[in-house]
Amino acid sequence: MKRKERLQKDPYNIVITGVGGQGNVMASRVLSNMLVRRGYRVTIGETFGMSQRGGAVMSHIRVSPKAQWSPQIPRGKADMVVALEPVEAIRVLMTYGNPKVMVLINTRPIYPVGVITGELTYPSLQEIESTVKSLSAGAWFLDATVEAVKLGNPILGNIVMIGAVAAMGELPVNRGDFEDVISRTLPADKLEVNLQAFDIGAAKIERQYF
Amino acid sequence: MAAGIDQSGGVEVLLMGNEAIARGALEAGVQVAAGYPGTPSSEVVENLARVAEKNGLYVEWSVNEKVAMEVAAAASFAGLRSLCVMKQNGVNVASDFLLHLVGSGVRGGMVLVTCDDPGALSSVNEGESRHFARMVEIPLLEPGDFQEAKDMLPWAFALSEEIRSLVMVRSVTRMSHASGNVVLGELPTEKRRAFFSCESNVFDLDHGPLYSTPVIRKHILQQERIRRVREISEKCTFNRYEGPENPELLVITSSACTLYSKEAIHLLGLKDRVGLLKLGTTWPIPSELVTRRLAAAEKVLVVEEVLPFLEDHVKILAAETAGRIGRTQFFGKNDGTIPMVGELNPDLVAKAIGSILNISYEGMTPAYEESLKAPTMARIPQREQTFCPGCPHRASFWVMHEALALDGRQGFVCGDIGCYSLAAISPANGYDTMKTIHSMGSGTGLASGFGKLGPFGLDQPVLAVCGDSTFYHAAIPALINAVHHKANIILVVLDNGGTAMTGFQSHPGLGVNAMNEAVPAVNLERVCQTLGARVEVRDPFDLQETRKTLNRMIKDETGVRVLIMRQICALSPEKRGKRLYTVSVQEDLCLGEKCGCNRLCTRIFRCPGLGWDPAKGKAVVDEVICAGCGVCALVCPAGAIQRQEVAR
């Protein structure tokens, strides 16, 4: 599939979800700045503070050629869901999903405390896969945390996922946009490993998708 | 983003609402900013602090919001432009000074930024600061998008100087913590010199002393100023109408609800039928503008979050102008069209508009809605908030729980405000020890009261907790009260080395200030000792020693005892990612369900770094999550969880 040079919708709605501490906020800032660099108006809606402590977190990214959309995506209106944690993808689809939504999922679970204590159960990855597929136009599964651990830090899973998002071709952003944004954001010594993480994510999608 | 909020003007950048507010203050030439951290307000002062040195600002994290407002007011009295920043309940703390500051008036432009938290996403209340503007009679401004969040600050400063009154700019979580495109303006180069001109008489507003007295004369003066603001607001470009000249429905809104209302009208495809009056000056409201719009519509919906504030003032105006506006039907909070609690979103506003115009709105197709009824969906596990892996609070509450259980008299903990509030929000986090939670410092104040109930039969041990920043903010007066009245209590200070909840802002106990300068630290234990409390300091990661100490202190029932549980926050920049121990489970020692410990580590201790392998029936350590504090190794009765010190 060829990279789309323009957004297919106005607004184009992206949800990045995960668990507090996974780098959700950074991922949403990086992706949004890549889009702003391309001349789009972007609104990010997110919550942090208390909600970050082990809870489910979500960033809503609204992208538009001209309008500043609200910081909350309406029910059923997500175009892309990027889940840094598998069950969070389903949680988001239950409110924001629709038959056309595309979903990218990091397969590494972070078990809720209720699962650790045995009060709740965590669905199997197969069950998550079939559920997400039934609720979306397409789902892509990546072992982003595994790759990030190989790079030396599990937090880089968020950048692996951004690499994957860029490689999907749905958004008019590329590696150059990423490099430009993070070189303005991160200290120089962190640049290389982030670019590696980005490339790993992109390669994983290219292998599955093209 | 990394460029800082002081980059040159003219460019369009993505800014968080709070960054936009900080940038707006810089463009207005603010020279002094003070605040106390509180979600969702903290990033305003934080961003100003980062650029303070380069831009010649003085920025401080004050001990509490009242002092922050006083510090900022002093700068204004000396002719500088100043800013004070706080969250909604911070305004409660500052309100006594606020009332009197309105009486005295200001000199250099002074703006109070408050960031409210509708829906209590990061608060233990849904309080609102808007009502203060009406109550103390100061202008209230509310930005409707990110560009306005920046642009409103220079306007607010200019207004403040014109009327010589404090001006309030109110944001909400979804504005402060959301981000959007902002075109930057130019930064000023001129700096004012500070001088407090006070040799003239009290009626000389430029050169006299600043008093709230004589009260009636000053009160009349303030009400004249508000009348002037009403006139100015008629022409203010932050008040805008878009839509047909005679709409079927007029929506009046402000703040983040502007974006929700616009989107709701778009979702319903009602651009040609519904008009939107968006107000940036929400008290006093521009009477003429609003009256004109009310006259052009028969149905009016007021869209705002939590209590009806705008709605009340629109209705008062409607009563006053009934002859001009004709028959008008109002919708909003009072008739239940818009919920009176929680935050709004585009769907709720679309439903409200739809209910008035008889249009049904569903965001999802019935088929998709149906697919959500599959059994998997019902089993998606909830994710409750919890202390982070490696959080010292988990160990501290473990100690308090063990000590109170051992004591056996149903002792309890009076809670306070910080990450440790999670022990009340999800009580299992605090092993069900925390039994009260109110405002900052109230844990110690309540304990001081409980600690005097012995003669009435109360023989339960009374513990209060507070964090280090909260201690300085509001617990000290309560502690003085407890000492003076010989209350039988133990204050446990959960000292994790900073204002952790809101992002490690400095506080008076640290040797560094907001601008990263070295400053004298006010020593926590010495303050307590000087007040007359007996003080012990322990590391909560040393479970046994800390528990023993606490039980000893509980038994010694004379007056006030302070136990400082000191261990730095797991997320603090100096600790993050550095493990003290490598933790693992030795499988042959873990007896699982047969142990008799009732899965103490996973079921009771509840650290997210631990897990349970159902196939093997044994505990496991999640190496991606574990922060290496090693405390679980002390909890495991079988010695199966083992820790090995990480070589440094």
SS3 sequence, B507-576?
CCCCCECCCCCECCCCCHHHHHHHHCCEEEEECCCCHHHHHHHHHHHHHCCCCCEEEEEECCCCCCCCCC
Does residue A127 sit at the B interface (CB-CB below 8 Å)?
yes
The DSSP-derived string for B306-337 is SS-SHHHHHHHHHHHTHHHH-S-EEESTTTTS
Q: Report chain A's mean pLDDT, rounded to a whole number.
A: 93
Buried b (16+ CB within 10 A) or exposed e, B552-591: ebbeeeebbbbbbbbbebbbeeebeeebbbbbbbeeeebe
How far, in Å, CA of B402 to CA of B548, rounded? Answer: 10
- Please compute the mean of the pLDDT values over residues B259-275 and round it to a whole number: 98
**Residue among A41, A45, A186 whose CB faces B174 most closely:** A45
The first and second tokens of residue B559, run together, are 């007056």
The first and second tokens of residue A199, run together, are 């490339």
Cβ(B31)–Cβ(B197) below 8 Å: no
pLDDT higher than 70, residue B187: yes
Q: What is the pLDDT of residue B223?
A: 98
Would you say residue B78 lies in a domain? yes
Cβ(B525)–Cβ(B537) below 8 Å: yes
Cβ(A113)–Cβ(B384) below 8 Å: yes
Would you say residue B385 lies in a domain? no
pLDDT higher than 60, residue B20: yes
Report the gap between the CA of A182 and the closest CA in chain B (Å): 9
pTM of the predicted model, to two decimals? Answer: 0.97
> A189-203, pLDDT tens digit by residue?
999 999 999 999 999
pLDDT higher than 80, residue A87: yes
- Please compute the mean of the pLDDT values over residues B5-14 and round it to a whole number: 95
Angle at A52 between CA A46 and CA A53, to 5 degrees: 170
Q: Where are the beta strands (DSSP E) in B337-461?
A: 412-414, 434-436
**Which residues sit opposite A142 in a β-bridge?**
A106
B161 in the same domain as B57: yes
Domain count, chain B: 4
pLDDT higher than 80, residue B192: yes
Q: What is the pLDDT of residue A4?
A: 80
Cβ(B83)–Cβ(B52) below 8 Å: no
Residue after which a domain boundary falls, among B566, B595, B613: B566
Mutation choice for B interface testing from A19, A47, A110 by most B CBs within 10 A: A47
User: How does DSSP classify residue B222?
Assistant: H
Would you say residue B256 lies in a domain? yes
B440: pLDDT confidence band, cut at 50, 70 and 90? Answer: very high
Residue after which a domain boundary falls, among B536, B566, B596: B566
B51 in the same domain as B145: yes
Q: What is the pLDDT of residue A144?
A: 97
A41-46 and A56-64 strand pairing: antiparallel
Q: What is the pLDDT of residue B647?
A: 84
Closest to B86 (Cα-Cα) out of B25, B138, B34, B27: B34
How far, in Å, CA of B141 to CA of B130, rounded? Answer: 9
- Please compute the mean of the pLDDT values over residues B320-325 and round it to a whole number: 96
Does residue A53 sit at the B interface (CB-CB below 8 Å)?
yes
B221 in the same domain as B106: yes
A103: pLDDT confidence band, cut at 50, 70 and 90? Answer: very high
How far, in Å, CA of B295 to CA of B292, rounded? Answer: 5
B99 in the same domain as B42: yes
Q: What is the pLDDT of residue A50?
A: 56
Q: What is the pLDDT of residue A207?
A: 78
B424 in the same domain as B493: yes
Of B72-76, B192-196, B372-376, the range with the lowest mean pLDDT is: B372-376
Would you say residue B572 lies in a domain? no
B282 in the same domain as B226: no
B114 in the same domain as B198: yes
E strand or H helix that includes residue A197 = helix A188-209
CB-CB neighbors (< 8 A) of A57 in chain B: none
Which range marks the domain in which residue B254 is found?
240-357
Q: What is the pLDDT of residue A48?
A: 64
A41-46 and A102-106 strand pairing: unpaired
B396 in the same domain as B487: yes
Cβ(A62)–Cβ(A77) below 8 Å: no
How far, in Å, CA of B260 to CA of B222, rounded? Answer: 34
pLDDT higher than 90, residue A72: yes
pLDDT higher than 90, residue A150: yes
Q: ipTM more than 0.90?
A: yes
Mutation choice for B interface testing from A17, A38, A53 by most B CBs within 10 A: A53
B556 in the same domain as B415: yes
B143 in the same domain as B74: yes
**Residue among A49, A88, A153 whose CB faces B122 most closely:** A49
How far, in Å, CA of B2 to CA of B51, rounded? Answer: 11
Q: What is the pLDDT of residue A51?
A: 56
Q: What are phi and psi of B575, to 5 degrees?
A: -110, -25
**Which residues sit opposite A140 in a β-bridge?**
A104
B253 in the same domain as B217: no
Interface of B with A in 568-597 (CB under 8 A): 577
Interface of A with B in 59-88 (CB under 8 A): 68-72, 74-77, 87-88
pLDDT higher than 60, residue B510: yes
How far, in Å, CA of B227 to CA of B414, rounded? Answer: 46
> B284-297, pLDDT tens digit by residue?
999 999 999 999 99
The CATH number that applies at residue B620 is 3.30.70.20
**Residue among B178, B377, B606 whose CB faces A44 most closely:** B178
- Please compute the mean of the pLDDT values over residues B589-613 and round it to a whole number: 94
The CATH number that applies at residue B53 is 3.40.50.970
Would you say residue B603 lies in a domain? yes
Helices and strands (H and E) in chain A: how many: 8, 6
HSE at residue A68, side-chain half, CA atoms within 13 A, is: 19
Closest to A79 (Cα-Cα) out of A124, A138, A143: A138
Q: Report chain B's mean pLDDT, rounded to a whole number.
A: 96
pLDDT higher than 70, residue B2: no
Q: What is the pLDDT of residue B1?
A: 42
HSE at residue A192, side-chain half, CA atoms within 13 A, is: 3
The class level of CATH for A12-209 reads: alpha beta
Would you say residue B381 lies in a domain? no
pLDDT higher than 50, residue A2: yes
The count of other CB atoms within 10 Å of the CB of residue A65 is: 13
HSE at residue B317, side-chain half, CA atoms within 13 A, is: 23
Would you say residue B379 lies in a domain? no
B353 in the same domain as B263: yes
Nearest 10 degrees: Cα torsion B512, B518, B522, B524: 50
Closest to B192 (Cα-Cα) out of B57, B63, B61, B304: B57
Would you say residue B368 lies in a domain? no
- Please compute the mean of the pLDDT values over residues B367-382 and round it to a whole number: 92
